Amino acid sequence: MVPRLIVVSNRVAVPDPEGPRQAGGLAVAVNAALKHREGIWFGWSGEISEDGAETSPRVITRRQRSFVTIDLSATDFQEYYNGFANRVLWPILHYRVDLAEFTAVDLGGYLRVNARFAEALSRFIRPDDWIWVHDYHLLPLAKELRARGHDNPIGFFLHIPCPSPDILMALPQHAETMATLAQYDLVGTQTEHDAENLRHYFEQQGATFGRNRVAFDLDGRRVQLRSFPVAIATKVYARTARTAIRSDFAAEMRDSLNSRKLILGVDRLDYSKGIPHRIQGFGQFLETFPQWRHHVTYLQVTPKSRSEVPEYADINQTVITLVGQINGRYGEPAWTPIRYVNRAYSRASLAALYRMAAVGLVTPLRDGMNLVAKEYIAAQDPEDPGVLVLSQFAGAAEELDGALLVNPLEAEAMAAAIDTALQMPLAERQERHRRMYRHLSANDIDRWAERFLSALAESQQAPRLFDNLRSLFVARG
């Protein structure tokens, strides 16, 4: 019997019969995890209730899957989401200690909301359920669940990077958040580099590792710690792109390009994405390679994000100013070098844009994985693929060895990579694409979910096997 799976994440993609299909990476990942099993997806509804208003969980059931959501109060939202999660954990785990704005009140709110999640979830948990918790909003959730007597297998997956202990130690009261990861049975990171950083952190907390370093013991608990690079539904995405390229949206876009080559960036508006550096890199490209002026269009699609967090409002101003400077400097009445769009597009529209783009620019300053990079590859026409220019600081760089890797801080290197990409001979583009597509097909989101859940199963069997052997030994002794 396949155990029931409870997935917990800050946001829940509750199906909306009237809305578009859920496009986000997390929704695709959770759907893969819940594919062949009964399950619950639990988290925040996205709604804010008035402080003091008691709201109970809302449950929507679709076939063998239930979506259970709770509202956050205005104070919870401020302290937990805008505060500790997105003004302390997000910057520090993205190596931006300089941007962290810690307050004890926000940490209190974060811990309180985690306790609320555990309290609300508790009554849905059966003893043989498996629980899979996602991302930095919910680091202490297992501790709260254990405190309520749930000794179910609980796994955690960190979607964002994990820096070295030197940086993690800058996190005030890190024992309350990072170190509570030891309450899970399995902790997954995006890359081996992240996993190794976390292992070093736990070593400093007194954990002892076995020889293969995939499990540690701390305070009487055995925890597995491994990397599981998150993936996409590669073949489905390729199919979506093949269809979407024939849409009216794609035709209109193609007409507007007027035979110019498309250079494309798609990112949430977030300082970790390196958008200002990318725009400067593009400006440098126009400066160093003037022969490309008039012959390229750079489209930057950037839906706004976390707008109530001050650093996010600042980055918006910076980007607008830079786009204006470059368009003012190089633009002509009949040619705008950069198109900057603050809207979110459907999965299909994005797939069409990816397929049309001769160059995909994915140059975050730091990124757990970056699924845009993987989607860009999946969306290409194998006969005439575009070229991915990828930051060495994106988790995806550990896997996508056919991309042109750049340091996003080096404008000249970015400029040269764009030129190389635009000039790359067809045979080389095909060969690089084939290699990466093959990797992404073999390592798609279904396989990712399967790998994580098998590891969670193993984490249960290993100690039991050990206990059985010990009891055998004791009985014989």
Catalytic residues: 159, 367
Least CB distance to ligand G6P at residue 306 (A): 5
* Contacts of ligand G6P in 100-159 (CB under 6 A): 135, 159
CB of 193 to ligand G6P, least distance (A): 17
Closest approach of Cβ 88 to ligand G6P, in Å?
A: 14
- Alpha carbon 194 to its chain's center: 13
In the complex, minimum distance from the CB of residue 331 to ligand G6P, in angstroms, rounded to a whole number: 32
Shortest Cβ 232–ligand G6P spacing (Å): 13
Could you tell me which residues come within 8 angstroms of residue 171 by beta carbon, excluding any fewer than 6 positions away? Answer: 88, 89, 92, 100, 177, 178
Burial of 210 (0-12, 13-18, 19+ CB in 10 A): exposed
Specify the residue, 369 or 411, whose C-beta has the smaller distance to ligand G6P: 369
* Contacting residue, 306, 347, 355, 374, with ligand G6P by CB under 6 A: 306
Nearer to ligand G6P, 10 or 297 (CB): 10
Task: Give the list of residues 6+ apart from residue 101 with CB closer than 8 angstroms, or none.
Answer: 87, 88
Q: Does 87 bind ligand G6P (CB under 6 A)?
A: no
- CA 409 to the chain's CA centroid: 22
Looking at residue 348, the DSSP 8-state letter turns out to be H
Name residue 85's amino acid.
Answer: A
Number of neighbours of residue 365 by Cβ within 10 angstroms: 22
Residue 139: how many other CB atoms lie within 10 Å: 26
Distance in Å, CB of 164 to ligand G6P, minimum: 20
- φ and ψ at residue 261, rounded to 5 degrees: -80, 140
Residue of 259, 277, 7 whose CA lies nearest to 132: 7
With CB atoms as reference, the residue minimizing the distance to ligand G6P is 159
| Pick 399 or 415: Cβ nearer ligand G6P | 399
Run of H or E including 109: helix 104-122
**DSSP conformation class of 88:** I
CB 250 within 8 A of CB 244: yes
The answer to whether the Cα torsion of 237, 239, 242, 245 is positive or negative is negative
**Beta strands, E only, 206-311:** 208-209, 215-218, 221-227, 261-266, 296-301
The interface with ligand G6P within residues 216-255 (CB under 6 A) comprises: none
**Alpha-carbon Rg of the chain, whole angstroms?**
23
Cα dihedral 356→264→227→460 (10° resolution): -60
Which residue number, 4 or 11, has a Cβ lying nearer to ligand G6P? Answer: 11
Stretch 24-53: interaction string toward ligand G6P, x if CB under 6 A: --x---------------------------
Residues near ligand G6P (CB under 6 A), total: 7
Residue-level length of the chain: 477
Which residues, 6+ apart, have CB-to-CB distance to 269 below 8 Å?
Answer: 275, 302, 303, 304, 305, 312, 315, 316, 319, 342
Cα 306 from chain centroid (whole Å):
15
369 contact partners, CB below 8 Å, separation of at least 6 = 159, 190, 191, 229, 230, 394, 395, 396
Closest approach of ligand G6P to the CB of residue 45, in Å: 13
Nearest distance in Å: CB 361, ligand G6P? 19
State the Cα angle at 195 between 210 and 32, rounded to 5°. 110
Nearest-5° Cα angle at 446, 444 to 447: 70
Question: Is 160 a binder of ligand G6P (CB under 6 A)?
Answer: yes
For residues 135 and 444, which CB has a smaller minimum distance to ligand G6P in the complex?
135
Closest approach, Cβ 160 to ligand G6P, in A, equals 5
The answer to whether 71 contacts ligand G6P (rule: CB under 6 A) is no
Interface ranges with ligand G6P (CB under 6 A): 11, 26, 135, 159-160, 305-306
